[in-house]
Amino acid sequence: MIAPRRLLPALLAVAAFVAPVAAASGQAPGTEPANGEGTVADTLRGRSGRLLARFFAPRHSMEIEPIARLFGRREQKNTSTVTVGDSTDGMMMSLISMLPFTEKKKNGRVGDYHIGRFPEEKGRLRSPAYENPDGFIEVTLDNKDTPVSEHFRLADFLTHDQKDVWPKYLVLREALIDKLELVLVELQRRGIDAQRLTVISGFRSPQYNQKGVGRGGRARDSRHQFGDAADVVVDNDHNGRLDDLNHDGRVNSKDMKIMADAVESVERQYPELVGGLGVYRATRSRSPFVHVDVRGTRARWGRF
Ligand SMILES: [Zn+2]
C-alpha cells in the first residue's frame, strides 16, 4: 500500500501531464490523438515506466511551475531544467523547458552553437513529421548528466561535434527514449543479458548531418535531425561496440538480428511507437548497429 501522502502528488502529476501532452497533439484530453502520441495510456513515466524527464515545448513551459510545486524537493540545474522529487522514494523527475525554435538565428546558430537549417526551412516538407522542431533543449555543463530515463541521460543524445562549445542544443523526443527503454525490457524478457544501450548517434544537427549525406550514407532528411532517431548497440562492457549477444564467440549480424527482432516486437506491442528500423553491418572501423526511430510510419532498411 502506497502512503496517500505520496500517492496524491503522483496522481496529480499524471493528470497534469496528460492534459498538456494531449493538447500538444491537438486533441482534447482523454481522446486518442490521430498520431498516436501522448494518450491517456501515457503516464508520467511513459509506456516503459522508466522516463525520468519530460520536455515542454515553449507554449507549454508555464505548466512546469504548477507541477514542480506538487513535489517537495526541487533543484534548479540551469534555467531550463528543474529536477523535482526525491531519488530515494523513486519520485525524481526533471522538467525541462525548450528554447523556442526562433532562438536560432539566420546564421543557423543559437548562441555560438551551430545547428544549421532544417529541411522545412529549405522548402522540403515531406510530411508533418518533417516540420521544424518545436524548440531546443539547452544542454549545459550543469544539466548534461540529467537522467532522461533509467538508462539514458541528456548528453547521450548530443551531436558529436563542437566539443568546446557550451551551451549545446538538442532536439529529443520522449517517445524515442521510451522506445529504447522498451527494447531493453524486451531483450531482457527474451533472456538476453542487455543491461544498457550505447547511443552511437542520437540527435544530428542539420549542419552535421549534411556533412555525411551521400558519403556515409546519411539520409538528407534523416530522422536524426528531428530528435526521434538513435543508432544503438547493446554494450554491457562500455566499449562502444555491439556485444556478443548469442555467445557464439563472434559479433556479427546474428547479434544485430536479436536486437532487430526486439525492436519489431516492441512495435507490435506499441503500434503508436512505430517508426524506422535499419540494420548496419560491421565495417573495418565500426561494429554492427541498429537504427531505431519513432517517425510514426513503418520504415525498414538493411538486410536482417
Ligand atoms: Zn540512424
List average pLDDT for each run of 10 residues in the chain, which is 304 residues long: 42 47 40 39 81 95 88 84 77 92 97 97 94 97 95 98 97 98 98 97 96 77 96 96 96 95 98 97 91 97 83
Cβ contacts of 198 within 8 Å, gap of 6 or more: 232, 233, 235, 238, 240
Question: Which pLDDT does position 76 carry in this prediction?
Answer: 87
The Å distance, Cα 199 to ligand 1 centre, comes to 10
What is the reported pLDDT for 96? 96
291 Cα–ligand 1 center, Å:
4
Cell digits of residue 225 = 535531425
What letter represents residue 270's amino acid?
Y
d(CA 123, CA 143): 34
pTM: 0.86
| Separation CA 40–CA 15 (nearest Å) | 9
For ligand 1, the distance from its centroid to the CA atom of residue 188, given in whole angstroms, is 23
What distance in angstroms lies between residue 211's CA and the mean position of ligand 1's atoms? 14
CA of 219 to the centre of ligand 1 (A): 9
What is residue 89's predicted lDDT score, i.e. its pLDDT?
A: 63
State the CB neighbour count (10 A cutoff) for residue 105: 10
Query: pLDDT value at position 79?
Result: 85
Alpha-carbon distance of 81 to 93, in angstroms, equals 10
| Vertex 206: Cα angle to 289 and 176 (nearest 5) | 50
Query: 235: which 3 cell numbers?
Result: 554494450
